[in-house]
Structure 1
Amino acid sequence: MSRGEEYRLSLLTMAVFMASGLIFLLIGMLAVAEVAQEGVWQTIKFIGVTLIFPTPFIAYPIYLWRKRKAGKTFYWDEEGIVIDLQGNKIYWDEIEDIRFSQLYGHWFTRSTVIYPHYTHHEKIRERRKKWMPTPAHSIDWILIENPKDYHKNVMQAWKEKQKLDKDKWELGETEK
């Protein structure tokens, strides 16, 4: 099995988040003139809220853009599947199941979820340097440029890997 196609971070997601943040900021700044008539303290509080609320909407796309420029992608190879932008992998022999997940029918909650076998949770936790083990690793579709293609291909690679492992196991059984 060779390295699968690399799936880059979505420019559309970055643009939507940035536009939302800038619109919130613009609306807040336009409303400052209205609040300024109520007094200095009210104006200071309003400006604080106006600057704090849109900050995540502006900072997150900047973070994603930097990761995209650094070449961070989602992919899989002979070893396993990359599950985050730090390059952490879940190895093929640790995976118990891979599924599609969608919460409450909303399009923006779609994801490919990788479930490692429970015997590997602690090993994965140590490798990722986390405080607590994670029973499932979600790759959110909103982050990827071609999410349906990614899911279809990762499922195909997973089935190939399972078939190869099953064939190896059967060969090992027949040799004994």
Structure 2
Amino acid sequence: MKIYRTSMYLILFFMVSGFILLLLCFLDYKNILSHLLTVITGILFSFGLLGYSFYLLKKRKEGKGIYWGPDGIVVDLKDNKIYWDEIEDIKFYNGRGGKSTVIYPHYTNHEKIRIRHKKWLPTTAHSIDWFSIEEPRDMHTNLMKAWKERKCEEPKL
């Protein structure tokens, strides 16, 4: 079982963006009082970017990521799992936002998954964005192989 962890490029992007934004807030320190609302908003946003980058780094060091086993697929960093028998289809999506692997659970399982994942609203599809993980093409290829093997094992009605 291979774990596809969060991409270091994504973590570094958020970290560098947060530091640059923080530096920009204090660039014009002489006129800081005249633009106080803008500076406070920039500081809060930069702390949000930095906080998220450290969160992703922590999860990466913990070994969290996307993986699958005999019972299902872990779809996020909180170890939320979609079981194989709940999945209707897995597809590749190439849109304006980038490439992703989308897992579609059967509509009868949406409420069960919502309760198990402790969400407010059910999710009709679980998207794994390629820019957020390492080796996304390898992940998609291996996941599709595992999915085809699972579909062949299921009894046909």
Q: Report how far residue 45 of structure 1 moved.
A: 2.4
Alignment partner of 1:93 is 2:85: yes
Q: Please tell me whether the aligned partners of residues 15 and 50 of structure 2 are also in contact (alpha carbons under 8 angstroms).
A: yes
* Structure 1 counterpart of 2:49, from 47, 53, 57: 57
Q: 2:118 aligns with which of 118, 129, 135?
A: 129
Which letter does structure 1 place at the counterpart of 2:12? A
Partner of 1:9: 6
Please report the RMSD computed on the Cα atoms of aligned residues, expressed in angstroms: 1.7
Counterpart AA for 1:88: N
The structure whose residues are more often helix, as a share, is 1
Kept in 2: contact 1:113–1:137 (CA 8 A): yes
Letter aligned with residue 43 of structure 2: L
Q: Structure 1 residues 54 and 152 mapped into 2: Cα distance closer, same or farther (>3 Å)? A: same
Q: Does 1:147 align with 2:136?
A: yes
Q: Which protein has the larger Cα radius of gyration, Structure 1 or Structure 2?
A: 1
Which structure dedicates a bigger proportion of its chain to strand? 2
Q: Given residue 140 of structure 2, which amino acid in structure 1 is its aligned partner?
A: H
Q: 2:100 aligns with which of 106, 111, 114?
A: 111
Which residue is 2:63 aligned to? Answer: 71
CA deviations on 1:57-97 (whole Å, 9 max, x unpaired) are 21111010111122212100000100111111101111001
Is the 2:6–2:56 contact (alpha carbons within 8 Å) kept by the matching residues of 1? yes
Q: What amino acid maps onto 1:16 in structure 2?
A: F
Which consecutive aligned stretches of 4+ in structure 1 deviate over 4 angstroms post-superposition? none
Query: Is there any run of 5+ residues in structure 2 with no aligned partner, and where?
Result: none
> Percent sequence identity over matched residues?
48
TM-score (norm 1): 0.82
TM-score, normalised on structure 2?
A: 0.91
Report deviation, 1:43. Answer: 4.1
Count residues with an aligned counterpart: 157
Deviation of 1:141 (Å): 1.6
